[in-house]
């Protein structure tokens, strides 16, 4: 209910009353949006008009994306460092320093729906225009443990 607004308009046309209602809903799940639209068309038939969706990202969603990208960058850096250590017969220890060097974002619409000038775009084009991308570059320093350290710890 907090993500829905309803505007109703009653009017008299000759000897009958006519009601028009506009329902605007903000969905966070594309699949649920499609199901609701299909249900409305199925139940109300031609008396309902469904406008093309407007896609946008909330600041919270973009913050989540940034965090996920940074964590993935650290995970990838650790995996690569581990592979290099294995190549030289060493084992990777704990991280000594992890620093986020650079974050880039592109695409997507932030906190406001796409303008009406894009009404002629297909649904796939609208989704593509609203998709947000991010990349993150990290710098990490890990402790390297030799094989002899592993043997001594086992004894």
pLDDT at 155: 45
Q: Tell me which residues of the chain have a pLDDT lower than 50.
A: 154-155
Burial class of residue 144, CB neighbours in 10 A (0-12, 13-18, 19+): middle
Mention every residue, 6+ apart, whose C-beta is less than 8 A from residue 127: 55
Domains and CATH numbers, the chain: 4-44 (no CATH), 59-146 (3.30.110)
Q: What is the pTM of this model?
A: 0.67
Torsion region of 94: left, alpha or beta (phi above 0 gives left; psi -120 to 50 gives alpha): beta
pLDDT at 153: 53
């Amino acid at each position: 209910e907090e993500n829905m607004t309803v505007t109703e308009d009653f009017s008299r046309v000759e000897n009958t009353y006519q009601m028009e209602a506009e329902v605007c809903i903000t969905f966070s799940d594309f699949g649920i949006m499609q199901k609701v639209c299909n249900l409305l068309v199925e139940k109300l038939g031609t008396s309902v008009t469904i406008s093309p969706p407007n896609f946008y990202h909330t600041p919270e969603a973009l913050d989540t994306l940034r965090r996920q990208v940074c964590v993935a960058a650290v995970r990838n850096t650790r995996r690569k460092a581990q592979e290099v250590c294995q190549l030289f017969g060493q084992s990777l220890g704990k991280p000594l320093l992890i620093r986020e060097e650079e974050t880039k974002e592109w695409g997507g619409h932030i906190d406001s729906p796409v303008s009406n000038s894009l009404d002629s775009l297909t649904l796939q084009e609208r989704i593509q225009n609203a998709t947000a991308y991010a990349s993150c570059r990290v710098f990490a320093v890990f402790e390297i443990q030799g094989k002899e350290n592993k043997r001594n710890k086992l004894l």
